[in-house]
Amino acid sequence: MSNSKYFISYARKDSQTVLELVKLLKIQEAPLWMDQDDIGAGELWDEAIKNALSNCEGVVVALSPQSVRSEEVLKEVEFALEKEKPVIPILIEETKIPSILQRFEYIDFTTHRAEAISKIFKALKIEPRGSMGKIFISYSLDENGLAFTELVQQIVYSYSLVVLAGVRSPQNYLTKERNKQLADCDAIICIVSENPKIENLNWIQSDLEHFDAKGKRNILTVFKDVDDHDILQKRKKITYDPNKPIPSIIPLSQEIALWKHDAGKIIEVFLAVDEATGFLMQRIDIAKVYYRLWTDDRKTNWVETWPIFRPGGIFVYLNGVFNETLIEVKIDDGETTWKSEVVHQTVHVNLRKEDS
């Protein structure tokens, strides 16, 4: 098991709820390990659990009346605390929080589940696809550049976004570590401080072109009075005046706000109880749920999601949604397909069987 995964600690009686949640999070590439989902054929069950717990990044504990009485769950939590591993409590059913976990802020998954899922992503330090999570700041090492970079970082943090920042190697190589950081980010801010060297401008151009090629957001911030090189003329940029820092920085803050808004949000959608959802419940082992988003006449590709079964119906979670977005949902088991109309996100979804 990769040591970057979080171990799921839960009570057996909560298996269905926890497995549904884990499946949903894994679709968004959440780094989770759960015995029922990750132990392969031929592996020794007890040994696999022991190794997973020992090597995990942290422990996600599903809290319920059953789990707080479970000796195994409490032992797993105690082990994580002894090893100083992060512990993320998630309340899946109303219960008294055990004393060992009372100093931790828990995530309430019993109500407002879309909001809870967003909090889980944040706790796991990942950002679901279709939303804004990380911004890379590319800067130079001179004194003015470093001071301005710190100011830009504070602005990005104010939007609850993760900041990754870095410079090229002394030989101006794009190292594997920096390349991975760039790949993980949703946008880049390139800072050109006073008296930039031409090689610095070249690698800034390289970074911007990299984000262009990936269709990701990018912008230049250029110190006032910097010579207008050809590289800078072709780009949208914000001019920074050290003598007037606040008026200069407002446009950058507005740009970041626009980026985050344009990335959308996570919403919860109710699939009405009908023949289609009954079909899904009977075929959950092989049936898959997909959605796509419509804005004006444009539509996204189909994206897989995972159903959450609750009293009264089935719910699914959609990412990258705006207030004006319309949605479409389908269920498919390879033989039969059920699809909804294109509807507004605030109404429940009815699915109809498609003609073969």
Q: What domains are defined for the chain?
A: 6-123 (3.40.50.10140), 134-262 (3.40.50.1700), 265-353 (2.60.40)
- What is the pLDDT, as a whole number, of residue 328? 92
Contacting residues for 231 by C-beta, under 8 A, at least 6 apart: 201, 202, 204, 205
Strands of the sheet containing 87-91, edge to edge, are 32-33, 6-9, 58-63, 87-91, 107-108
Please tell me which residue, 105 or 268, carries the higher pLDDT value.
105
Lowest-confidence pick of 73-87, 167-181, 276-290: 167-181
* Predicted confidence (pLDDT) at residue 85 exceeds the cutoff of 80: yes
* Contact between residue 203 and residue 173 where contact means Cβ atoms under 8 Å apart: no
Q: Which residue carries 């020794």 as its tokens?
A: 44
Q: How far apart are CA 167 and CA 178, in angstroms?
A: 8
* Predicted confidence (pLDDT) at residue 194 exceeds the cutoff of 80: no
* Predicted confidence (pLDDT) at residue 124 exceeds the cutoff of 70: yes
* Predicted confidence (pLDDT) at residue 13 exceeds the cutoff of 70: yes
Question: Which of 285-292's residues contact partners 24+ apart within 8 Å by CB, and which partners?
Answer: 286/333, 286/334, 287/331, 287/332, 287/333, 288/331, 288/332, 288/333, 289/316, 289/329, 289/330, 289/331, 290/329, 290/330, 290/331, 290/332, 291/316, 291/318, 291/327, 291/328, 291/329, 291/330, 292/327, 292/328
Q: How far apart are CA 5 and CA 31, in angstroms?
A: 5
Per DSSP, the three-state class of 172 is coil
The pair of three-digit structure tokens given for residue 293, joined into one six-digit string: 């988003």
* Predicted confidence (pLDDT) at residue 75 exceeds the cutoff of 60: yes
Q: How far apart are CA 257 and CA 63, in angstroms?
A: 35
* Dihedral sign of CA atoms 237, 243, 248, 252 in order: positive
Q: Which residue carries 């610095």 as its tokens?
A: 200
* Predicted confidence (pLDDT) at residue 174 exceeds the cutoff of 60: no
Please tell me which residue, 221 or 233, carries the higher pLDDT value.
221
- What is the pLDDT, as a whole number, of residue 7? 95
Contacting residues for 292 by C-beta, under 8 A, at least 6 apart: 299, 300, 301, 302, 303, 327, 328
What DSSP designation does 118 have? H
- What is the pLDDT, as a whole number, of residue 112? 73
* Contact between residue 58 and residue 7 where contact means Cβ atoms under 8 Å apart: yes
- What is the pLDDT, as a whole number, of residue 186? 86
The pair of three-digit structure tokens given for residue 187, joined into one six-digit string: 């946008």
Q: What is the pLDDT of residues 131-141, one digit of tens each?
A: 677 899 887 66
* Mean pLDDT value across residues 320-345: 85
* Contact between residue 3 and residue 55 where contact means Cβ atoms under 8 Å apart: yes
- What is the pLDDT, as a whole number, of residue 2? 41
* Mean pLDDT value across residues 145-156: 83
